Structure 1
């Protein structure tokens, strides 16, 4: 009889920490940070940007277009061409107005760059920037 009483007292004195609520809180925080993170949509191509001393950082919530050395205009990894710039930007700018950043390769001709900028202006984009690499 005595041994069962000692076992019962020992079980009552031993305290365990329940980790389930802690894990729930950690997972909720993880989900919160994943949902609230701003994802920057890349253009899907590698661009050799020109350098500029007066470069400055812009906000992350922007539209990105890339112009490759062979004159392809890329949006979201798809070649939309110069003729697709206006319709694409009109559709996405109707939902939300954001600045446009054009990532043009440094070997792109000025004519192609101006055509893309004209199409963006015709689509209603007023804030157009050209991406550069920071210079010394």
Structure 2
């Protein structure tokens, strides 16, 4: 009968991990290949671009024309020939491209059209006309 030799703690048997790692990688490859990449149906969202200027509220230019043809810009009476200069002064202080013209229903259309043209010349891109009763 043979006697077993006593082995030291450093000579313990080790488990070979290589086959197990091979199996794990093969399973990983299998799952990647068999996964179907389907684009889900839904709505595309058009998000606005991030502009620092758009976060600040823009102040619209207010122009009132009463029934006698008197023009008021932001509460101040203005001559029809000085509308361009006053709009350019307003644009220098405020970053906007919007103007609202409030015209009385009895105001002459020629004055309203002249104010609209001068607003376009001064650099206002969007002009809206409101009728005041």
TM-score, with length taken from structure 1: 0.50
What is the alpha-carbon distance in structure 2 between the residues aligned to residue 79 and residue 92 of structure 1? 14
> 1: CA distance between counterparts of 2:62 and 2:114?
16
What secondary structure does 2:117 align onto? Answer: helix
Verify the 8 A CA contact 1:82 1:119 in the aligned structure 2.
no
> 5+ unaligned residues in a row in structure 2: which ranges?
1-56
The structure with higher relative contact order (CA 8 Å, sep 6+) is: 1
Which residue, 70, 79, 93 being the options, matches 1:72?
A: 70
Q: Structure 1 stretches (4+) deviating beyond 2 angstroms?
A: none
| TM superposition shift of 1:85 | 1.0
Give the aligned partner of residue 99 of structure 1: 98
Q: After the TM superposition, which residues 46-57 of structure 1 pair with which residues of structure 2 at under 5 Å, given as runs? A: none
Superposition RMSD in Å: 1.9
Once the two structures are superposed, the pairs formed by residues 1-136 of structure 1 within 5 Å of their partners are: 61-95=59-93, 96-132=95-131
Aligned partners of 1:71, 1:92: CA distance in 2, in Å? Answer: 21
Residue 38 of structure 1 aligns with which residue?
A: none
Gaps of at least 5 residues in structure 1 are 1-58
Superposed CA offset, 1:72-110 (max 9, x none): 100122211211210011111133123100000011111
The aligned length equals 75
